[in-house]
A and B are shown apart, each in its own frame.
Chain A
Amino acid sequence: MRDLIDIWVTCQTWIFETFVVPVLFRFELMEWYEPGFKAVEIVMLGVVQILVIALGMRFFERRWPLEKAPDDNLASVDRTYTILNKLGIVPLAVFAVSYPITNEIEYVVRALGYAPPRLEQIVPWLHDNALASFLLYFVLYDFAAYWLHRAQHGFSWWWALHSLHHSQRQVTVWNDDRNHVVDDLLMTLALAVFSQFVGVQPDDYILILMIGRLIESWSHANVDVSFGRIGERLIVGPRFHRLHHALASPAERHIHDHNFAPVFPIWDILFGTAIYDGKHRPTGVDDPVADADNGRGWIGQQVTVLGRFLKALVPRPMRGPFQPGLRPPAE
């Protein structure tokens, strides 16, 4: 194990000292020295994630596809999303915008004398049990992500952004990162503020994102796999989450408004949005406006969806009762 760590940190140090440090030093950014080193690790972990998806998860999709194999041309833009996200390019841009905002919020809160109520202070046992502490914060973080996901579906302006994630015709492991950058920004801001208030430490936050996003990639996989009767109630798997991407039918007009949980299905079970009926529903897009995203590249999708978002921000009386492409909030 130690040999693997040594290889990992040697590579990380080499990349950092060869490519990052000269830039930080030259442009007087040495206060970002330590964060820069961590950023290199995030990129390296991103490469690992991509390999896990491309070699591991895709193997299952090819070997045991649930739906007809997807059109590779349509899936290619999703691979672009995955690469841009996992290699930290989109997250870096989102961080650059969100950091000053979250920092300012933290300063104001601290200036008012508020320090996040660490769970360790309520449950001292956690203080000496890093794994239990991490898992508890992970669950809390997922709880926030669940409600934010419901908000993405509940507010028409937010749905205008999030509809990009639901606009793919065939759901695969590559789909998880298919999101608008403004959607990413909003989610990051909300989760970062939540994390600050409940005291999730920055390193936990990164690890939570890494593990969580890998589970979420798998939950989109085009396979009929679950973790068993008990397991599928503990961790989100493809059978559970693909229902969230199912095509609506007259009988199930709001099928998308179920199985929201990113990692732990307990939230759907507790709040009455879980469906465990074992039925196979075809996935895809049933909104012609959102479906038009298919065939566009990354930039085209970003521009188009930004337009949908801006249109949705116009107060309702000024834009008529309903516009195509903007699904009404859940009944």
Chain B
Amino acid sequence: MNRLAVVASLLVLAVGAARADTVLVLNSDEASYSVLSRSTRTERIRLPVGREPHHLVFSPDGKEVVIGSTVTNELLILDAQTGEKRRVVRDIVDPYHLGFSPDGKWLVTTAYRLDHVDFYHADSFKLVNRVFIDGLPSHLVFDAESKTVFVTLQETGRVAAFDMETQAIKWNVTVGKAPAGIIMLPDNNRLLVALTGQDNVVVLDPKDGKVTTSLKTGRGAHNFWPKGDGRHWFLSNRVENTVSLLDTQEMKVVGTIKVPGGPDCMDLTPDGKELWVTQRFLRRIAVVDLAQMKVVTSIPVGKSPHGVMMLNAPAPPAATPPVRAVSSSGGKK
């Protein structure tokens, strides 16, 4: 009996560890997302998700993961600890990129294909306003006070700022060719915009969108991910096939990592030692060892992997019954 209890405890611990170990990757040219094990660096299972998922975010309370399914006009909501499917929210039109405002009140989505920016109540997912805007609205970011959301417009080379209270456009300025990724630096005074049609990022003043600085990185500068120290950011350069490490204090490139296959979205392992980068063209996700600053392995996933997310859930209390690490609603493709 004691032996059984020990085995059961070990199983519970193993399941908990497995959950903390999970990585989600959205296969944007498929109707699926991959669930990977960070420790074994393998794809555990591939699960169905609407059609053409591109980006995913944590819900404001951190308990759920929200995936935008662009073609089915839906959000798929997963449990943030297990990656299990919880529910589907319908009538969210073409949610390409999405983000919750820092105050947790708003969900904003960009309809890349259909040229509009949508404002929803974060709690009910009820549409408040839809603003049509030319130029392929791409990525978005909020300011720290949740007063403004900034949206890149890839086709017209512009960035637009929307007032969150009125959803009116505050400014809409030209910044360069094919702007994509956009971040607000911790000082809340500088926006960084990656120019995919060029080889650089630009710094904007969030008050009026004026370009203040430019920094050369690599061709196809595309998307950012924080290193976690508030100062350094990773930037994928899709055409150059590199990831740059930016020092945003000194505004310079302090490191470059070769990542083949059109590197796109990124996430860091909880220990900060590895950067996982989706390789859109190769149908893989690269694991970069940050001590060596090089790709140490590349894990096969689905077609055109785009968004990636580490589930950093802590192990559950021992009393919690084991939870399946994957959903039962569909088999491996």
Contact = CB atoms under 8 A, between A and B. Distances in A.
A10 B281 CA distance: 8
Interface residues of B, number: 42
B330 A5 contact: no
Nearest to A14: B281
Given A25-B219, A115-B91, A130-B48, A30 B281 contact: no
A5 B114 contact: no
B26 to A, nearest CB: 14
Contacts, number: 89
A115 B74 CA distance: 11
B178 A107 contact: no
B8 to A, nearest CB: 31
B48 A5 contact: no
A323 interface: no
B50 A127 contact: yes
Contacts of A129: 48, 330
Interface string A137-150: 00000000000000
Given A30-B154, A127-B88, A106 B73 contact: no
Contacts of B155: 31
A16 B73 contact: no
B52 A201 contact: yes
In this complex, the member of A5, A25, A28, A202 whose beta carbon has the largest number of chain B beta carbons within 10 angstroms is A25
A34 B239 CA distance: 11
Given A13-B281, A31-B154, A25 B51 contact: no
- Report the interface size class on chain A: 35 or more
Contacts of A37: 262, 280-281
Contacts of B88: 127
Interface string B165-184: 00000000000011000000
Contact of B71 (A25, A128, A202): A202
Contacts of A121: 90
Secondary structure class of chain B's binding surface, majority of residues: loop
B247 interface: no
B261 interface: yes
A12 B281 contact: yes
Contacts of A5: 283, 300
Contacts of B91: 115
A269 B29 CA distance: 35
Given A31-B136, A115-B93, A128 B73 contact: no
Contacts of A318: none
Given A9-B281, A111-B132, A128 B177 contact: no
Interface in A27-44: 28, 30-31, 33-34, 37-38
A118 interface: yes
A9 B71 contact: no
A21 interface: yes
Interface string A62-74: 0000000000000
Contacts of B79: none
Contacts of B320: none
B31 interface: yes
Nearest to B132: A111
Contacts of A118: 71-73
A71 to B, nearest CB: 43
Contacts of B219: 25
Contacts of B3: none
Contacts of A106: 114
B48 A13 contact: no
A207 to B, nearest CB: 11
Interface in A103-152: 106-107, 110-111, 115-116, 118, 120-121, 127-130, 133
Contacts of B300: 2, 5-6
B32 interface: yes
Contacts of B136: 31
5 contacts: A6-B282, A33-B196, A107-B115, A121-B90, A203-B30
For the complex of A and B, list the 4 residue pairs with the smallest distance between their C-beta atoms, beginning with the closest: A30-B178, A30-B197, A128-B330, A201-B71
